[in-house]
Structure 1
Amino acid sequence: MKVLILTYRVPFPPNSGYPIVVYNTIKGLLKLGAEITLFSINGSKNRVDIDDIYDPVFEQIGFHSYNIDTEVNIWGAFFNIFSNQSYNVSRFYDDDAARLLENILREHEFDIIQFEGLYVVPYLDTVKENSKAKLVYRAHNIEYDVWERLAAREQFRPRRKYLEFLSRRLKVYETEQLNRFHQVFAISHPDRQQILLMGCQTRLDVFPVAIDFDKYHVDLKKTSFPTLFHLGAMDWRPNKEGLEWFLDEIWPDIETLSGELRFYIAGKNMQKQFFEYDSENLIVESEVFDAIEFMNSKAIMIVPLLSGSGMRVKIIEGMAMQKCIIATTMAAEGINCEPGKDILIADTPDEFYRSILQCITQPNRWREIGKNARKTVERDHEIYSNAKRMFEIYEKLLY
């Protein structure tokens, strides 16, 4: 089976949510014998030097990419107001990239073409004009919902109005595209329900984040206690917003619990303002070299997300590393977990305080939750069982 996958960023190395999801999809399908070609927009925000990619999965695929400046431009954003396009999406389209894709489609025949996320959907017309393949759309998020929730929390009125404008444009675009595919994959059951409410009438299945458990080796001897940690890209607005809330509203009380308690914050594109919080108990780092080893060395994962959609890949990874995760309801949305058993849910400063206090004073409690978390993700998020199910859906589309 010949599969073309379109992505809005290069999924090498697989060091954050979107690349991990795409990378593991490719890895799983390759093991099942699929021929994979990858076409990636190499945006300015997450630009990858293709010559620096050394990965056995990369060596097994046909690869094409096109560099695009996807940075937000104030004039581009302003003039977009007078168009009928979503500025969030249009930044990822380029005529030359479309011509490159057209050439690929003319030179190769594909059985399946999978669009990984909304930001490559602007190339759908090019694909339809040049291929008879079955078309699959995977919704990594309900994109308009992310911006709608951000707007609801924005207190500066002009910015809130613009965020509301962006979310409305996104909703129109997202809704219009859904039924242009032969198959839609949602990343979680709540997202599936939302997609149905948006009027999706095409085939719809759920494919959660899948991970390769061979990468997640737990060594409790390396875990220091009592330690808290937060790990996430700080250029993603929901991460930044949630961490600010935690540090301003919750951390001052937590810090007084124990002089030995340490809270580690890490992630790429760490904003300058977070270094101002740095203290003896709060250690602010930038991007870590090995995220898995970073998680291995810490005990309790804090995920104070207040907005967003989809499924938090870092939570899945944390569960795979047997971490006790304390997260908001929003952060845990879509993950088939049981509060109090394999995760702790906290939505208010008081709930975070009580959960952290419980973990610090009852070490066996956080270890038990971590063990249960590992069992949960092994059940629901194993890479090859998910790939096999995806492959079977491809076969049904073709025959």
Structure 2
Amino acid sequence: MKTLILTNRVPFPPNSGYPIVVYNTIKGLLRLGVDITLFSINTNKHRVDTDDIYDPVFENINFHSFNLDTEVNVWGALFNIFSNESYNVSRYFDDDAAKLLEDILKEKQFDVIQFEGLFVVPYLDIVKANSSAKIIYRAHNIEFDVWERIAITERFTPRRKYLQFLARRLKIYETEQINRFHQVFAISEQDRHAILRFGCEVGIEVFPVALDFERYVINTAKPSFPTLFHIGSMDWRPNKEGLEWFLDEIWPDIEKLNSELRFYIAGKNMQREFFEYDSDNLVVEGEVFDAVEFINSKSIMIVPLLSGSGMRVKIIEGMAMKKCVIATSMAAEGIRCEPGKDIMIADTADEFYRSILQCITNPNKWHEIGENARKTVERDHDISTISERMLNIYQKLVSA
């Protein structure tokens, strides 16, 4: 089975949500003998020096990348208003990148070509013109839904109007493209229903985040208590807004509960404002070398997202490390979890306060939830099970 995977960033190293999903997809399919070619847009924002990648997964694929500046600029955004294109998506298309992809398609015949996310869909016409492969679209989230929710929380009226404009353009593009594929993969059952609602007429299956549990080894001697922690990329607006809300509205009351309580926050591109926050019990780590080790060393995971879509990979990782996760309903969206059993849900400041207080005063509670959380992700997110299902669909599509 010869498969080409297209990505909007290089998924090495697998250090955040999108790269982890793609990396584990490739890893699982390689184990099943699939021949993988990867074509990645190497953006300035997430630039990877591909000469410095040392990874057994990387060594077993055919890799191609194209360096591209996808940063937002004022003139590009302004001129885009007078076009019919989605500025969110069009920034990822480049004629030279399309030529490189065309050359790859002419050099090798593929059975399946998988588009990982909406931002590589602008290359769909190139693929269709140069390949007879079955084409799959994998929706990592509902992109326009993310922007609609961000717009709702924006208080500055001109910026809110522009975000709403971007969301409308994105919705038109996203809904128009969905039926141009042979198959759609959604990352959650909620996203599957959303895609069906906006007119998907092709086959659609749910493939959640896959984890290789050999990587998630718990050292019970390391976690310190009482500790709260949050980890996530701070250049993703929903993470930043959610953490600001938690620190402003909830944390001042929480840190009074116990003088030894510490709240650790980590993630790439940590904003200066978090380092300057006035709290002796807040520890800002910035980007950490090993996210799994960071998660292992802390007790209770806080995920206060107020907007977003898809599935939060860091929650899945926290659950895999037997952590008690306290998250908003928005953050837990798409995960087959049961509040009070394998996760704690808090949507208001008062609910976060009560949940954290319960865990601090009753350590057995967060231990129990952590144990159940591990069982849940082993049931739903095992890399072997998910990869075998994906390969079965590949085989059915090719033989049809």
TM-score, scaled relative to structure 2: 0.99
Equivalent position SS for 2:20: helix
| Aligned residue identity for 2:97 | A
Partner of 1:63: 63
Q: Does 1:253 align with 2:253?
A: yes
Q: Distance in 1 between matches of 2:271 and 2:114?
A: 34
The aligned runs of 1:10-21 (5 Å cut-off) are 10-21=10-21
Q: Distance in 2 between matches of 1:220 and 1:252?
A: 29
Work out the percentage of aligned pairs sharing the same amino acid.
Answer: 76
| Aligned residue identity for 2:36 | I
Partner of 1:161: 161
How far the C-alpha of 1:278 sits from its partner, in A, is 5.2
Q: Distance in 2 between matches of 1:105 and 1:272?
A: 45
Q: Distance in 2 between matches of 1:267 and 1:361?
A: 28
1:2-57 deviation line (CA, Å, top 9, x unaligned): 00000000000000000000000000000111000000000010000000100000
Partner of 1:392: 392
Partner of 1:95: 95
Q: Distance in 1 between matches of 2:32 and 2:9?
A: 24
Q: Distance in 2 between matches of 1:278 and 1:299?
A: 23
Partner of 1:381: 381
Partner of 2:218: 218
1:246-275 deviation line (CA, Å, top 9, x unaligned): 000000000100000000000000001111
Partner of 2:265: 265
Q: Does the 8 Å contact 1:98/1:126 carry over to 2?
A: yes
Q: Distance in 2 between matches of 1:185 and 1:93?
A: 22
Q: Does the 8 Å contact 1:326/1:345 carry over to 2?
A: yes
How far the C-alpha of 1:279 sits from its partner, in A, is 3.0
Equivalent position SS for 1:365: helix
Q: Distance in 2 between matches of 1:77 and 1:35?
A: 39
| Aligned residue identity for 1:60 | N
Partner of 2:244: 244
| Aligned residue identity for 1:132 | S
Partner of 1:107: 107
Equivalent position SS for 1:310: coil
Equivalent position SS for 1:285: strand
1:105-156 deviation line (CA, Å, top 9, x unaligned): 0000000000000000000000000000000000001000000000011111
How far the C-alpha of 1:384 sits from its partner, in A, is 0.9
How far the C-alpha of 1:285 sits from its partner, in A, is 1.3
Which aligned segments of 4 or more residues in structure 1 are displaced greater than 6 angstroms?
none
Partner of 1:80: 80
Q: Does the 8 Å contact 1:224/1:299 carry over to 2?
A: yes
Partner of 2:316: 316
Partner of 1:334: 334
CA RMSD, 1 decimal = 0.5
Partner of 1:361: 361
| Aligned residue identity for 2:273 | Q
How far the C-alpha of 1:74 sits from its partner, in A, is 1.1
Partner of 2:325: 325
Partner of 1:130: 130
The aligned runs of 1:177-256 (5 Å cut-off) are 177-256=177-256
Partner of 1:276: 276
Q: Distance in 1 between matches of 2:261 and 2:306?
A: 25
Q: Mean Cα displacement is larger for which, 273-282 or 61-70? A: 273-282
TM-score, scaled relative to structure 1: 1.00
| Aligned residue identity for 2:131 | S
Matched pairs, number: 399
1:228-251 deviation line (CA, Å, top 9, x unaligned): 000000000000010000000000
Q: Does the 8 Å contact 1:278/1:284 carry over to 2?
A: no
Equivalent position SS for 2:45: coil
Q: Distance in 2 between matches of 1:284 and 1:151?
A: 28
Partner of 2:350: 350
Q: Does the 8 Å contact 1:142/1:191 carry over to 2?
A: yes
Partner of 1:49: 49
Which ranges of structure 1 fall in alignment gaps of 5 or more residues?
Answer: none
Q: Distance in 2 between matches of 1:312 and 1:84?
A: 32
Q: Does 1:296 align with 2:296?
A: yes
Q: Does the 8 Å contact 1:28/1:383 carry over to 2?
A: yes
